[in-house]
Amino acid sequence: MSFPRPAVPQGRRRIVFVVPPVTAEDRYGPMASAGNSLPPHAFLYLGAVARRAGWTPVIVDCPALAIPLGRCADEILKHDPDVVGFTTTTMSVAKAATVAEDIRRQAPEVLLAVGGPHVTALPAETLERLPVFDVGCAGEGEEPLLRLLAALESGGDPRDVPGLVVRDDDGSVRANPPGEQIDLAGLPDLAWDLLDGFPDHYHAAATYLNKTPFTDLIVSRGCRYRCTFCDNQTFGRSIRALPVDKILGNIDRLVADYGIKSLFFTDDSLMTLRDDFVAVCEGLVERGYDLEWSINARTSEVDAEILALMRRAGCWQISYGVESGSWEILKRIKKAATPNMQARALRLTAEAGIKSNAYIIIGFPGETHETLRETEEFLKRVPIDTLRLTFFTPFPNTDITEDLVGNGEIVADWTRLNFYNIAYIPNGLTRKDLERAYRRIMMQFYLRPRVLRTFLPHLLVPRKALALFRGTFGLGRLLVQGPGGSGEPGGNPGECRS
CA nearest 395: which of 410, 375, 405? 410
Q: How many CB atoms lie within 10 A of CB 314?
A: 22
The stretch 344-360 carries a mean pLDDT of: 97
Phi, psi of 56 (to 5 degrees): -100, 110
* DSSP bridge partners of 337: none
* Element (DSSP H or E) covering residue 111: strand 111-115
Q: Which of 24-38, 140-154, 366-380 has the lowest mean pLDDT?
A: 24-38
Residue 466 has pLDDT above 80, yes or no: no
Residue 316's pLDDT is 96
Give the architecture-level CATH label for domain 14-175. Answer: 3-Layer(aba) Sandwich (3.40)
CATH 3.40.50.280-classified regions of the chain:
14-175
Higher-confidence position of 447 and 172: 172
Number of residues that make up the chain: 498
Q: Does domain 203-481 have CATH number 3.40.50.620?
A: no
Residue 462's pLDDT is 58
Question: Which tens digit of pLDDT belongs to each residue from 467-476?
Answer: 555 566 556 6
Helix (H, G, I), strand (E, B) or coil at 133: coil
Quick one: pLDDT band at residue 451, thresholds 50, 70, 90? confident
The string of DSSP letters for 21-74 reads ---HHHHHGGGGGG--B---HHHHHHHHHHHHTT-EEEEEETTTTT--GGGHHH
b vs e for 179-194, b when ≥16 Cβ sit within 10 Å of the residue's Cβ?
A: beebebeeeeebbbbb
Phi, psi of 425 (to 5 degrees): -120, 110
How many CA atoms lie within 13 Å of 223's alpha carbon, on the beta-carbon side?
20
Residue 3's pLDDT is 85
Between the alpha carbon of residue 388 and those of residues 183, 350, 361, the distances in Å are 34, 18, 8
- Distance, in Å, from the CA atom of 462 to the CA atom of 460, rounded to the nearest integer, reads 6
Question: Which tens digit of pLDDT belongs to each residue from 153-186?
Answer: 999 999 999 999 999 989 899 999 998 889 999 9
CATH 3.20.20.70-classified regions of the chain:
203-481
